[in-house]
Amino acid sequence: MNALVDRFLSYVQFDTQSDELTNLTPSTPGQMIFARYLEEQLTQMGLTEITLDDNGYLMATLPANTDRTDVPVVGFIAHLDTSPDMSGHHVRPRIVKDYDGNNIVLNADKNIVLSPDEFPELLHYKGQDLIVTDGNTLLGADDKAGIAEIVTAVQYLIDHPEIKHGKIRIAFNPDEEIGKGAHKFDVKRFGADWAYTMDGGEIGELEYENFNAAVARVTFTGRNVHPGYAKHKMVNSIRIANQFAIMLPRWETPEHTEGYEGFYHLVSIEGTVEKTVLTYIIRDHDRDRFERRKKEFEHLTRKINHEFPGVASLEINDQYYNMREKIEPLHHIIDVAIEAMKDAGVEPKVVPIRGGTDGAQLSFMGLPCPNIFAGGLNFHGRYEFVPIPSMEKATQVIVEIARLVATR
């Protein structure tokens, strides 16, 4: 598995942060640079049907090596970009050998420490080799660990022709972190019966439920008047926006919810007396509750406008839906993944995603696509790390899925 680690350490050197403000696909040039690098690797490996389109979607095929003609085509997908939440420029990963359970000093000069007191999940990986950051950037295991695992698994299947498998399709797409990873994904050209995104967290995770998601923008229009002469004239949009915000349930926020509990999350405030915009994301696994949450925004907007006529306007746009309704009728897709994990010596942990995944959008586009662990933890920040054995197991799971689909 040295090749797996080497691939990952080389992949994280590419700065592929996405940027939702550019309105381009891919949203940043580094993603296309990385995609071309991967295209060359896949070509050298001998894969076929390699395509890289102008939007940065890279696809390739590992041809079947079995005489059976009834084997479904299975896909494996990972995303090229890293989160815009923290820099991915000049990532300097370090391997911590045989982690001893104590604090890991990421950056002595800045006193940045990865501690089990703050991140108790570290202790689950005592005795393992971990890849960590230098404290200045994120690591990029989300999702370059997934890419490394897919490429390594495909190379393993090439090197071990005794493992029979059907046609395997792989794809690496841009801009997952800004919610656009599936927007220009050509499902028909990909041509798989189903697929798995290798984009989950810690070892064993298998996810086929995710949030229903929407973004809501509430705009408050005020009237600015000199404060010394403002009585009965000024309309302060900031104050009215604050009144709206505190009308939402206090405990239904990300910091107070877990599991299947949904939330309202205020992600930005931009305002002056004349105009203030509140931007929220709305999340819930249950479709009915999700719709009721959107109705609550409509209700509160009407309530504000009753007190301050015409001040508030609301725009709500759905982002994605819970893929469970598309995958549950095809439960053999989950059964194969569970069996593959067990064969690889991994205990499956079927959990709901408290977020979204490209697989959710792809499932509604006609490509059922659950999510499998890639092994990383603490994504999107300087405390991100990935245990090497978890990456190795994810690679084995891919190989086992290919084998099982061909033998069933």
Quote the mean pLDDT of the chain: 96
Whether residue 174 is preceded by a cis peptide bond, meaning omega within 30 degrees of 0, is no
Amino acid 408: pLDDT: 80
Q: Is 257's pLDDT higher than 90? A: yes
Query: Which stretch of 31-40, 256-265, 287-296, 351-360 has the lowest confidence by average pLDDT?
Result: 351-360
Say yes or no: domain 212-320 is CATH 3.40.50.150: no
User: What proportion of the chain, given as a percentage, has pLDDT over 70?
Assistant: 100
pLDDT, tens digit, 9 for 90 and up, residues 229-244: 999 999 999 999 999 9
**pLDDT tens for residues 359-368?**
999 999 999 9
- In the numeric block, the tokens 């990935």 are attached to 386
Task: Please tell me whether residue 335 adopts helix, strand or coil conformation.
Answer: helix
- Answering whether pTM is above 0.85, one says yes
Which has the closest alpha carbon to 144: 159, 131, 125?
131
Domain boundaries 2-209+322-407, CATH class:
alpha beta
Q: Annotated catalytic, 81? A: yes
Could you report the per-residue pLDDT of 375-405, keeping only the tens digit for each? 999 999 999 999 999 999 999 999 999 999 9
What is the pLDDT, as a whole number, of residue 179?
A: 86
Band of pLDDT at residue 70, cut at 50, 70 and 90: very high
The pLDDT of residue 1 is above 80 = no
What's the pLDDT tens digit per position in 102-121? Answer: 999 999 999 999 999 999 99
pLDDT confidence of 355, banded at 50, 70, 90?
A: confident
- Which of 224, 287, 222, 278 minimizes the C-alpha distance to 247? 278
Q: Tokens 């926020």 sit at which residue?
A: 253
Domain boundaries, the chain: 2-209+322-407, 212-320
Q: What are the start-end ranges of the E strands in 128-274?
A: 130-132, 168-173, 194-200, 205-207, 212-221, 263-271
Buried b (16+ CB within 10 A) or exposed e, 188-202: eebebbbbbbbbbbb
Q: Is 176 a catalytic residue?
A: yes
The active-site residue, picked from 15, 39, 81, 358, is 81
Residue 265 has pLDDT above 80, yes or no: yes
In the prediction, which pLDDT does 219 show?
A: 98
The pLDDT of 53-82, averaged and rounded, is 97
- Give every CB contact of residue 313 below 8 A, 6+ residues apart in sequence: 218, 219, 221, 301
pLDDT digits (tens, 9 = 90+) for 45-64: 999 999 999 999 999 999 99
Residues 270-282 have pLDDT tens digits of: 999 999 999 999 9
Look at residue 42 in the predicted model and tell me its pLDDT: 98
Choose, from 15, 176, 358, 384, the residue flagged as catalytic: 176
